[in-house]
Chain A
Amino acid sequence: MDLMNILFIAPFLDMADSPVFLAEVVIGGVLTGVMYSLVALGFVLIFKASGVFNFAQGAMVLFAALTLVGLMERGVPVWLALIGTAAVMVVLAFIIERVMLRPLIHQEGIILFMATIGLDFLLQGVGQIAWGSNVKVLNVGIPNESFEVGGILLNEFDLFAALIAAVLVGVLAVFFQKTAIGRALRAVADDHQAALAIGIPLKTIWVIVWSVAGIVALVAGIMWGAKSGVQFSLSLIALKSLPVLILGGFTSIPGAIIGGLIIGVGEKIAEIYWGPAFGGAIEGWFAYMLALVFLLFRPQGLFGERIIERV
């Protein structure tokens, strides 16, 4: 009876008790969720266009953030450092396509996945040798003041992150829907062979997709780096964004955003209201369990394409 109380009654009483606190928790969750979404976006872009499950996305986030900080430490102004890092990510996309993806074309998904794990090691090593492995502070001039709205404590930085994510999604949506390259990307995502047949250059498309994913990684790197410092653990947030992907579906950009929000909010609420019942620190696995239960009912995620099997 006691257990039932802790699991099913007490948390809701707590919630009803102080709605302001609940609102704060939810908003905190939403903002963390936005950060997860930023990382998940990079995964979705690459998976959509090339069917590669890019495990190195986390390392790309780390690599971009390290490059940015490294350039700024050497006295390069912020705007120039941003452009420089973006250029580095584009060059990286070229190298990855030429050296890794092209010889591995037509291999099975698991082989490509494995190759991206190799890439993950490679990028972590190179980034940390080139720019040092100590924890770095990233300050690109994002305001970081707290203020209150209707008794709810908000942070300017988090709002800024949400704004950036919204702008990024908007830009990507326009890019995918309205431009010729975007249409080509969608065609490739739909059917490689058909896209090739009507003359879409697959190699160029892959370079573009990896470049875009690199720039998304840069944005994610800036936000995470400014929040918690640039260090090795940045590459581990890739693991955190996997349940987000599952929830949203591997192939859906809005899915990545919504999934991120659900995971962010769910995780925070579970930790604060149900955490004590389990002895705390359930944030580590809650997202995965949520995704697992979710998968049992909807295997393709919220917005993923329906999995149709042909024999």
Chain B
Amino acid sequence: MLYREAGQFKTSYAKDQAVFPIIQDRWFIALVLVVAYGVVPLVANEYWLQAVLIPFLIFALAAIGLNLLTGYAGQLSLGTGAFMAVGAYATYKITTVFPEINILVVFVMSGFVAAGVGIVFGLPSLRIKGFYLAVATLAAQFFILWLFNKVGWFYNDNPSGTITAPPRTVFGIMVAGPRATAEVRYFISLTFLVIFALLAKNLVRGRIGRSWMAIRDMDVAAEIIGIRPLQTKLLAFAISSFYCGVAGALYVFAYLGSAETEAFDLLQVSFPVLFMIIIGGLGSILGSILGAAFIILMPIFLTNAPALFNLPMPTDLSKHIEEIILGGLIVFLLIVEPKGFARLWQIAKEKLRRWPFPY
């Protein structure tokens, strides 16, 4: 009853092709945006913003990036951490050399740098696919992190070997550096996520997204109907890396404050982002965001759960229990719904459409 499109007539092509054709969806999105922009900053305290919401927003952006590549274009990648590192180090380098450029512009510029690197490491995808490609992207992961660790130029020969977000202001508001408030950093991350999620949503509906999906489903057939595999695959790598690069820049400048290459480690970043898109749903923008929420919130919940139930527990034991529960949940979710949260949401919508009078 609540979620019913009966009676919503589309009288123009523009309306028929809208991103969210159903009015309830538009209201829902508007409500989420109002809550995210208006209510959350008033309610949430420093801890929630810093430890939960900001990493969630940033990883959701990275997950959308990987989902474009893996979920839509079908190219399995384990190099997310490296592409994020490229974004972060490029931002650091650009903003320290040209401090006068608006830092928000620098974030986008470093996205383009990451896209360039993505194209280079996407070249093998023309010859190899599947798990072979995944291992090839591991080369990017290890090589790029090693490079950033070894060559002092990337971190301005800083003796500690770390990159630290310098203080930067936009229109007089401190947005990066140690004195930027959590609220400001939250707004920046949120805005980036909203804009880029909308862009991605439109991208995958259009010609580019459709050619990606054609390549994913059957590359030989796609080639025969006139899709060029070279351009399409490399474009997927470029755009995916662009998203990851921006996410990486935010990861250091809006979340960590300072980082070294270990922050972009395979097990810290690349694998969790892959979990997000598989648990959330391959080939779904909403799924990437839901998956990111799950993977970020789950460990925080598990860490705090013993305290909630007054169960004192040594930290290493609780860490292992956390591993067991996370691993078990991943296997369980895959068995119950291999297509992820996005599919669950779709099923829920079908049910809602007929509720409460199914006949």
Contacts and interface: CB of A to CB of B under 8 A. Distances in A.
B272 to A, nearest CB: 10
Contacts of B76: 110
Interface in A65-92: none
A120 B327 contact: yes
Interface in A259-311: 278-282, 284-285, 288-289, 291-292, 295-296, 299, 309, 311
A239 interface: yes
Q: Pick the most buried of A99, A246, A250, A292: most chain B CB atoms within 10 A of its CB.
A: A292
B150 interface: yes
B178 to A, nearest CB: 31
Contacts of A124: 320, 323, 327
Contacts of A19: none
B188 interface: no
Interface of chain A, helix or strand or loop or mixed? Answer: helix
Interface in B285-334: 316-317, 320-324, 326-331, 334
A122 B331 contact: yes
A293 to B, nearest CB: 9
B207 interface: no
Contacts, number: 128
B335 A103 contact: yes
B52 to A, nearest CB: 21
A291 B136 contact: yes
A291 B128 CA distance: 12
Contacts of B220: 309, 311
Contact of B142 (A280, A285, A295, A296): A285
A115 B334 contact: yes
Contact of B321 (A125, A242, A281, A292): A125
B337 to A, nearest CB: 10
Contacts of B235: none
B74 to A, nearest CB: 9
Interface in B47-93: 70, 76
B146 A284 contact: yes
Contacts of A289: 139, 143
A128 interface: yes
B138 A242 contact: yes
B218 interface: yes
A246 B132 contact: yes
B72 to A, nearest CB: 13
Contacts of B322: 125
B135 interface: yes
Contacts of A103: 335
A287 to B, nearest CB: 9
B99 interface: no
A4 B351 CA distance: 68
A291 B327 CA distance: 30
A291 B135 contact: yes
B98 interface: no
Interface string B250-291: 000000000000000010000100110010001000000000
Nearest to A282: B146
B221 interface: yes
A284 B316 contact: no
A129 B321 contact: yes
Contacts of A120: 327
B128 to A, nearest CB: 5
A243 B131 CA distance: 11
Nearest to A242: B135
A121 interface: yes
Given A121-B324, A242-B135, A311 B221 contact: yes
Interface string A233-263: 0000001001101100010000000000000
Contacts of A118: 326-331, 334
Contacts of A246: 132, 135-136
Contact of A119 (B128, B142, B320, B327): B327
Contact of A117 (B132, B316, B330): B330
A121 B323 contact: yes
Contact of A311 (B124, B218, B317, B320): B218
A250 B330 CA distance: 25
A243 B135 contact: yes
Given A129-B321, A245-B135, A296-B124, A114 B275 contact: yes
B167 interface: no
A53 interface: yes
A107 B146 contact: no
A156 B42 CA distance: 68
A113 to B, nearest CB: 7
A285 B331 contact: no
Interface string B111-135: 0000000000000100110111001
6 contacts: A104-B334, A119-B331, A122-B323, A122-B331, A243-B138, A295-B128
7 closest Cβ pairs, A-B complex: A121-B327, A118-B330, A122-B327, A125-B323, A288-B139, A125-B324, A285-B142
